[in-house]
Structure 1
Amino acid sequence: MDASLEQIGPRLRAARRGRGWTLEEAAARAGMSSSTLSRLESGKRQASLELLLPLTRALGIRIDDILPSTTGDPRVRRAIERRDGMVVAPLTLESSPVQTYKVTFPPVPEAPSPRIHDGYEWLYVLSGRLRLALDDHEHIIARGESVEFDTRVPHSLSATEDGPAEVLSIFSAAGERMHTHGTS
């Protein structure tokens, strides 16, 4: 058997045990015999869609959750962008469902004009102090603090004038396009 397909049985077993079900309980819910399920989990029986579909439905998981993934190089090798004095370093693969960046904001004397767009944003300040202008209120976010906000609320981000701020930023897809590509 292909070594990557050997992952199916242990993944099924982990999902079943995660639910706290015995072999008999899971097999009954999926409409199969407990010996069939036992052989699937141990790799002694080849997995087929006919067996996997009812089983994954009963377990409340997707087929993708048990199929082997094609894992390539997990390292993120995306170019760092520099724009308007900011340094934006991608920390996730482009195909990731959520985008994460390390952003270094240069010091500025006052907050830029607020903007709005669809999405959500999560920030964690690694160093320095971040100025978050949010809905006509200014918040100074210090090292070790985090914030979350709806980007449909008028907002702007900048370092304070006393030095740069390094921030981990996690964006929804709409927020990622706005903040990293500068589109409106």
Structure 2
Amino acid sequence: MDELAQVGPRLRAARIAKGWTLERLARAASISASTLSRLESGKRQASLELLVPLTRQLGIAIEDLIVTTMADPRVRRQSWESDGMVVHPLSPETSPVSTYKVHYRPSPPVQELRSHDGYEWLYVLSGRMRLQLADREIVLYKGEAAEFDTHTPHALTALGPEDAEVISIFNEAGARFHTQAP
């Protein structure tokens, strides 16, 4: 198992980081120094019976010793169009914070502002955005950011004359309300 290949070297690194000798850790974990040496060098198979007392003494978790294969970090999700905007997901579906690049076509101000659970942050990449926030209308230009509690009635539209793009970050409730894919 490749996951276990680094248990010994990681165990050695944890021991050295603590400034302990082989003998000191072996004595504290009630195993022989030769067993610990063989474990650290990969000449002895790691077992829970050996690792539990060693990790307990070192103040680390067994998971700290196991190499996990890193998943592909690229986000590969389909974009979609909805209500005059094109939504490009930039974070995995399982992320606790949802990030999107949203392309807006110019449109008139929204007549009926909406509020919902959640929180929103946005950054204007290009164009001009109209942020209607309660009784205020705020114009956001390229390079500007805004954040607000989505309990405040709000709407976001491109002011024009050109299209606009923003990076939007939502907590789970905000993402559910604003970016429902078809």
TM-score, normalised via structure 1 length = 0.69
> By how many angstroms is 1:166 displaced?
0.3
Letter in 1 for 2:52: E
Q: Is the 8 A contact 2:104 2:157 kept in 1?
A: yes
Letter in 1 for 2:166: V
Cα distance, 1:91–1:52 mapped onto 2, change above 3 Å: farther
Root mean square deviation of aligned Cα: 3.7
Cα distance, 1:154–1:112 mapped onto 2, change above 3 Å: same
Partner of 2:112: 113
Partner of 1:83: 82
Letter in 1 for 2:19: L
Cα distance, 1:3–1:88 mapped onto 2, change above 3 Å: same
> By how many angstroms is 1:6 displaced?
4.5
User: For 1:177, what is the secondary structure of its paired residue?
Assistant: helix
Identity %: 45
Mind listing any 5+ residue stretches in structure 2 that lack a counterpart? none
Cα distance, 1:150–1:5 mapped onto 2, change above 3 Å: farther
User: For 1:181, what is the secondary structure of its paired residue?
Assistant: coil
Question: Structure 2 CA distance, aligned partners of 1:138 and 1:81?
Answer: 27
Cα distance, 1:86–1:4 mapped onto 2, change above 3 Å: same
- 2:52 pairs with 1:50: yes
Q: Is the 8 A contact 1:86 1:104 kept in 2?
A: yes
Q: Is the 8 A contact 1:112 1:158 kept in 2?
A: no
Partner of 1:168: 167
Q: Is the 8 A contact 1:134 1:154 kept in 2?
A: yes
Mind listing any 5+ residue stretches in structure 1 that lack a counterpart? none
1:21-40 superposed matches below 5 A = 22-24=18-20
Q: Is the 8 A contact 2:128 2:160 kept in 1?
A: no
Q: Is the 8 A contact 1:116 1:155 kept in 2?
A: yes
Question: Structure 2 CA distance, aligned partners of 1:141 and 1:55?
Answer: 55
Question: Structure 2 CA distance, aligned partners of 1:116 and 1:79?
Answer: 27
> By how many angstroms is 1:175 displaced?
0.7
- Between 93-102 and 164-173, report the one with greater CA deviation: 93-102
Rg larger for:
2
User: For 1:126, what is the secondary structure of its paired residue?
Assistant: strand
Question: Structure 2 CA distance, aligned partners of 1:135 and 1:52?
Answer: 59
